[in-house]
Amino acid sequence: MSECKSCSRLQELANLNELELIEEQLSLEFDLVSEVVKEKRLNVCLSCPFLKGQTCSKCGCYALFRTSLANKKCPINKWD
């Protein structure tokens, strides 16, 4: 059975709001990694069993946010 259209739309809006908030916070940060490094880190996260939705269940961070910051490490040492 498929999900109702209203529920799907509400989830889409929630995801967009999260992304906007992450982008806003990242605009205030000074020590960001390059897009190449961020993409490599995100690809590792996407294959990780601890990623639940957009959140790392080991550290509680949004993967998009944590992978963008130069001073952050993977909580289970999967990033190079």
The domain spans of the chain are 5-68
Which pLDDT score, from 0 to 100, does residue 39 have? 95
Give the span between the Cα atoms of 54 and 29, in whole angstroms: 20
What's the one-letter identity of residue 69? L
In the chain (80 residues long), the average pLDDT of successive 10-residue segments reads: 63 68 82 94 95 91 91 93
- Predicted pLDDT of residue 57: 94
- Whole-number pLDDT of residue 69: 92
Query: E strand or H helix at 56, and its extent?
Result: strand 55-56
Look up residue 35 and give its amino acid.
E
